[in-house]
Amino acid sequence: MGGSEAKPFPRVSGEFSVSAAFMARATTRPRKLKFDQTSICVMLTVSDLAAIISAVAVLVGVMVGVFQLRNFLQLRQMDLVMKLYSSTWESSFQKDYVRVHSWKFRNYADFQKNAQPEDWEAYNAIVLFFENMGLLLKRNLAKIDLLDDLVSGPILQTWERVEPIIGGYRKKYTPTEAEWFEYLYKAIKDRIETLQEPG
């Protein structure tokens, strides 16, 4: 000690002190956020609601897309059938149709022997028309109820008129001659019989 006076602890310039430094350090530490149960529940509810809304939006979009696609396919089917059916309004088709229904041929042998070139042309035009109708039905591109409404009568009458000729042609040349016309005829006939059943 030696009689000398104790020097005071050196102070930092300004008002800064050890206790102030300690407090400043303490206040820079990361602070933990506290959430009560109500806040957590609200956050979960909003998050879940957003997910539900998103899922519902996707589902609605898919349903609308399926509905629009279904309508498009139905319109497409209708368009195919009506384009084919529109050929029946042409005078050449009507002339061939009347000629076929005026035939007196008993079978294919009679037809082959006595038919004129116009008869062959009429046969090809009319059979091909109904063959195409039957193919649309077979490929699910036309509905049976639509074909029934449009041409059920001509289908039945024409097939029964040309069946003897087709049968003979199949035996002599092509077993599959007019197969889709026959398919169409049977489908229409079965539908009519089903609709006529009591109850």
> Could you state, in chain order, the average pLDDT of each consecutive group of 10 residues for the chain (199 residues)?
50 48 50 51 65 75 66 70 89 96 95 96 97 95 93 96 96 95 97 85
The token pair at 28 is 């820079």
Is residue 173 within 8 Å of 112, Cβ to Cβ? no
The pLDDT of residue 57: 75
The token pair at 92 is 């050449």
Write out 39-90 in H/E/C secondary structure: HHHHHHHHHHHHHHHHHHHHHHHHHHHHHHHHHHHHHHHHHHHHHHHHHHHC
The pLDDT of residue 102: 96
Kindly state the DSSP code that residue 33 receives in the 8-state scheme.
P
Task: Give this prediction's pTM.
Answer: 0.65
The pLDDT of residue 52: 77
User: Can you tell me the distance from the alpha carbon of 64 to that of 188, in angstroms, rounded to the nearest whole number?
Assistant: 34
